Structure 1
Amino acid sequence: MALPIETFFLSPNHQGTLQSQVQQMIAHGILSGRFGTGEKLPSTRKLAAHLGISRITVTLAYTELVASDYLTARGRSGYYVSDNAPVPPVYQPQPMAAESVDWTRAIGQRFSGGRTLSKPKDWARFRYAFIYGQTDPQLFDHANWRQCALQALGQRDFSALTADYYDRDDPQLIEFIQRNTLPRRGISANADQILITMGAQNALWLTAQVLLTQRRTAAFEDPCYPALREILTQSRCHMAPVRVDQKGLPPDAIPPQVDVIFATPSHQCPTTSTMPMERRQDLLDRARALDALVIEDDYEFEMSFLERPSPALKSMDVDGRVIYVGSFSKSLFPGLRLGFLVGSEPFIREARALRASVLRHPPGHIQRTAAYFLSMGHYDAQIRKMGAALHRRRTAMQAAIDAHGLEIAGLGGFGGSSFWMRAPAHKDARQLALDLQEASVLIEPGNAFFSGQDTPRNYYRLGYSSIQSDRITEGIARIAKAVES
């Protein structure tokens, strides 16, 4: 029986090549049970004419499907669904039974319900999306990333793609971090002092798990990165939030009996303030006096388009008490989920063992692709391009903010990609965000960044990494109108 040609159509939302679309269309038809064993497919000429594509594209797709045993070619007769094609599963849904488990008692530790950031999944449809950390497709070097991914898929890199590293990492990526990334921050480390992580958040989790117990105390900035606060809560350690000022974390406010200090000296989250060099030395002195360790989250240091970034806190450390957290996800794209830890060998050894027990290692193909992208100079070129674009957007945004009389609560002196804003005291930024969505504007309420119950509600963050310059002025005008109303 021949399959009617009307049942074949291409999805307008498919992102791959035409050949891959044809392959996926036919494979899906077989796997879903719509195309049965032995049924004849349309000829390559007829299907190409029906879909409006070239005949060679259809021929190549058929050939690949024959090679993977979805189709079989029968002489001059044509192509048929193979007898060995995957059989669609027979699924008989079972009637829903009432569960007898009392999950309120069965769950030993809760991880949900914390105060975290949330972003609409459809944020890109908003015309004025002042959302932090999202990728602007106009700035990302997709062509070269794709070429690096294809190179990583090549035969020469077969072992890097398919091997189980167990607790190790891609040596090419480690070498680049060791020879290029860290020296730019004034840091020297050997390969055994570097660990690849699934982004900075995974690095912070590993650090908390290795260093903290229920008897130890962690000091952290207030306001801070909300996910860090959740990580510390889950570790069940004693928590000591320290309110930041215009220069970041004040060392003299760190209480005694602290074991681990979490800080963002280069670019405080979310106020964007930069810790001066004198205070950095004071922080190291305070940590030495407490015999405490310092976790330095050095996110976004690459976005220093106004002035050169200060040396990392880790570069000033002579005791080995600073553990450095870096990330490529902020500067490339958030979905990459690739970061790294740098610390003394005893610490990295334990973090490596913990990572191996949870997820082995980040995927080898992603590591090798990133290694190529970094080593071929594409990363530096993208950083320069992003820095120039963010500089223009920041200038336009500050001019619009000043023109409409909005208040900036935190302004990074080196660059970055966001403003920390303060509305009048009677305003609730959460309601303000809901009202602005009706005007196609997205902002981030700031309450999630603060610790404790009685938190300020009039702070909000405006990111400019994913909004185009020509939309900034009107977007700020709509925010000002909502604040005044």
Structure 2
Amino acid sequence: MAISVETFFLNADAQGTLQAQIQEMIAAGILSGRFRTGEKLPSSRKLADHLGVSRITVTLAYTELVANDYLTARGRSGYFVSETAPVPPSFSPTEKSHDTVNWSRAITQVFTGGDSPRKPRDWRSYRYPFIYGQADATLFDHANWRLCALRALGQKDFAAMTGDYYDQDDPLLIEYIARNTLPRRGVIARPEEILITLGAQNALWTVVQLLLQPGRKAAIENPSYYTLRDQLSHTGCTLDVIEVDKDGLPPELIAPDTDVVFTTPSHQSPTTVTMPTARRKALLDRARDIDAVVVEDDYEFEMSFRAQPSPALKSIDRDGRVIYLGSFSKSLFPGLRLGYLVGSEPFIRQARALRANVLRHPPGHIQRTVAYFLSLGHYDAQIRRTAKVLQERRAVLEKAVEAEELTPTNRSLYGGSSLWMQAPDHVDMGQIGMGLRDKGVLIEPGAPFFAQDTRRHNFYRLGYSSIASERIPQGIAHVANAIRAYRA
């Protein structure tokens, strides 16, 4: 089998000579298992044309890889991955450990086997990564982030970095969220009503633990964030799955015995539809009538580049029944793992106690670094810069989608960083996605977003936060070609 030339690309920020970069790229592909023993490499001429380098550069790289036994040359047939190519070392004990515990009996709850899919760890090595929620290194303000981190490491902030807050948080970060972040969403909250979390996922877990148990009922959107559904399944609560429409979650479909409603009104996950103001009011009226708590996940409001986002559901809540979730993962970077919960003081008090029992608090140094990054204006500057680039990429993506006659399910009013797409009913986008990896294309199949008994395999998500504009058209062409060639 031949390795497609389109799986190769040079990183503009890489160090070393072009020859060294090509060697490293091929060696990494072999060591990671992407390139298999016996597979044929592209010809030196074809790879040189694709990468925009001289043929002699590729030839020298191939020659060095042959010398190091990564590749083998077969006369006029070309270069192939060597049968004796180096592989990552592995340690295999010769004797099995003496384990007499019956773990199937000892473990009382099983957390494996959920719907949460795993993104490839080497997603950056793909030429067309239409993957959602990952950071683009070219857009991040590395210099000012480093300065803020260094400042947070200074003697003046020694207590903030090393101290045990127990159940409290960095007062500087809480103050910024209360005075700047939340008012942008129309939300006014006191410090006692704000809790820092390890990202939105930890915030959802905290809410689920405090509000749900066997005998209670939760209503969620369908499709929805798969991890939330996994978390709810472990509580023993009754789960009511409600289909969203063009305006989001229909309030009239919420059952009268519902205790907690989970919703993403500003930017429905994953369809990206925005709930109109009239429906938001209707949702709050319905929650009041049945005495339910509403959990609002406002995960991507910062990415509204087409227009100002609608005020948060929490901003029109007059009963204190909305619990609001925010996160810096999408606007800064997912590895930061920092978010926040906003709710009535009695709820936040219990959430704070639960967090203290499990993990105390998010690291003080991280909180203080983020507080400086926000308060010194670097965050707002990055948001503006990112929004401008996302708007450009979105325009290119929509044009490419239209040219290839693919079908987006809606046009988000405010922006975001993804398109929710629908293929013909007979197409399994899970199979398409696996096949596209050989072309250097990553997409997200939509099936995991749907509840099991409503699973739809012809939906998929195209993220554009981490792919350069110039690569989008060719990547979309690969997707379109794969869908047209699909046979059930």
| 1:65-464 correspondence runs (5 A) | 95-464=95-464
1:53-105 superposed Cα distances (whole Å, 9 cap, x missing partner)? xxxxxxxxxxxxxxxxxxxxxxxxxxxxxxxxxxxxxxxx8953332222222
C-alpha separation in 2, matches of 1:453 and 1:311: 34
Equivalents in 1 of 2:483, 2:308: separation in Å?
A: 35
Q: Aligned equivalents of 1:330 and 1:163: distance in 2? A: 28
1:380, 1:145 → 2: CA distance?
13
SS of 2:138's partner is coil
| Distance of 1:454 and 1:398 partners within structure 2 | 28
The alpha-carbon deviation at position 378 of structure 1 amounts to 0.3
Question: What is the alpha-carbon distance in structure 2 between the residues aligned to residue 14 and residue 154 of structure 1?
Answer: 31
Question: 1:265, 1:274 within 8 Å by CA — same for their partners in 2?
Answer: yes
Answer yes or no: is the 8 Å Cα contact 1:305–1:387 preserved in 2: yes
Q: 1:98 to 1:411 in 2, by over 3 A?
A: farther
CA distance in 1 between partners of 2:385 and 2:325 (Å): 24
Q: CA 1:192–1:94 in 2, change beyond 3 Å: closer, same or farther? A: farther
Which residue pairs with 2:79 in the alignment? none
Distance apart, 1:346 and its partner CA? 0.3
Q: What do residues 258-312 of structure 1 show as CA deviations (whole Å, max 9, x unaligned)?
A: 0000000000000000000000000000100110000000011011110110000
Aligned residues: 396
SS class of match (1:453): helix
| Contact 1:193–1:343 (Cα < 8 Å) also in 2 | yes
Specify the code of the residue in structure 2 equivalent to 1:203. A
Structure 2: segments with no counterpart, 5+ residues = 1-12, 16-92
Q: Name the CA distance, whole Å, in 2 between partners of 1:185 and 1:14.
A: 40
Q: Which residue does 1:473 correspond to in 2?
A: 473
SS of the residue aligned with 2:252? helix
Q: Which residue in the other structure is 2:28 paired with?
A: none
Q: Distance in 1 between matches of 2:329 and 2:407?
A: 30
Give the letter aligned to residue 182 of structure 1.
L
For residue 278 of structure 1, what is the amino acid of its counterpart?
A
Question: Matched residue of 2:409: which SS?
Answer: strand
Compared with structure 1, are the counterparts of its residues 439 and 359 closer, same or farther at alpha carbon in structure 2 (3 Å cutoff)? same
Distance 1:310 1:219, change over 3 A: same
Alpha carbons 1:246, 1:273 under 8 Å: kept:
yes
What secondary structure is seen at the aligned counterpart in 2 of 1:148?
helix
Q: What CA distance in whole angstroms lies between the structure 1 residues aligned with 2:376 and 2:250?
A: 40
What's the CA shift for 1:115?
1.1
Give a deviation string over 1:98-123, Cα, whole Å, max 9, x none. Answer: 32222222210011101112210100
Shift of 1:132: 0.2
Paired residue type of 1:366: I
TM-score, normalising length: structure 1: 0.80
- Aligned partner of 2:74 in structure 1 is none
Q: Secondary structure at the match of 1:438?
A: helix
Alignment partners' CA distance in 2, 1:390 and 1:234: 37
Partner Cα distance (2:285, 2:274) in 1: 18
Q: SS in structure 1 opposite 2:361?
A: coil
1:323 aligned partner, one-letter code: I
Shift of 1:454: 4.4
Give the secondary-structure state (helix, strand or coil) at the position aligned to 1:110.
coil
CA offsets per residue over residues 376-429 of structure 1, 9 Å max, x none? Answer: 000000000000000000000000000000010133110000000011111101
Letter in 2 for 1:104: S
Deviation at 1:234, TM superposition (A): 1.4
> SS at 1:235's partner residue?
coil
TM-score by length of 2: 0.80
Who is 2:36 aligned against? none
- CA distance in structure 2 between the partners assigned to 1:364 and 1:148 by the alignment: 13
Tell me the amino acid that sits aligned with residue 213 of structure 2.
Answer: T
Secondary structure (helix, strand or coil) at the match of 2:287 reads helix
| TM-superposed deviation, 1:180 | 0.3
Greater CA deviation, 161-170 or 409-418? 409-418
Residues 454 and 298 (structure 1 numbering): CA distance in 2 closer, same or farther, change over 3 Å? closer
Q: Which has the larger radius of gyration?
A: 1
Q: How far is 1:232 from its partner? A: 0.7
SS at match of 2:386: helix
Task: Name the CA distance, whole Å, in 2 between partners of 1:349 and 1:410.
Answer: 40
- Measured after TM superposition, the shift of residue 453 of structure 1 is 3.0
Deviation per CA, 1:335-380, whole angstroms, max 9, x where unpaired?
0000000000000000000000000000000000000000000000
Structure 1 stretches of 4+ moved >6 Å: none
Partner SS, residue 144 of structure 1: helix
* Preserved CA contact (<8 Å) 1:247 1:275: yes
Aligned to 2:19: none
Q: What is the identity percentage for the equivalent residue pairs of Structure 1 and Structure 2? A: 61
Is 1:411–1:420's contact at 8 Å kept on the other side of the alignment?
Answer: no
Cα deviation, residue 452, structure 1: 2.3
CA distance in structure 1 between the aligned counterparts of 2:193 and 2:329, rounded to whole angstroms: 21
Q: Which runs of 5+ in 1 are unaligned?
A: 1-12, 16-92
Output one character per residue of 1:13-54: Cα deviation in whole Å (capped at 9) or x when no partner: 999xxxxxxxxxxxxxxxxxxxxxxxxxxxxxxxxxxxxxxx
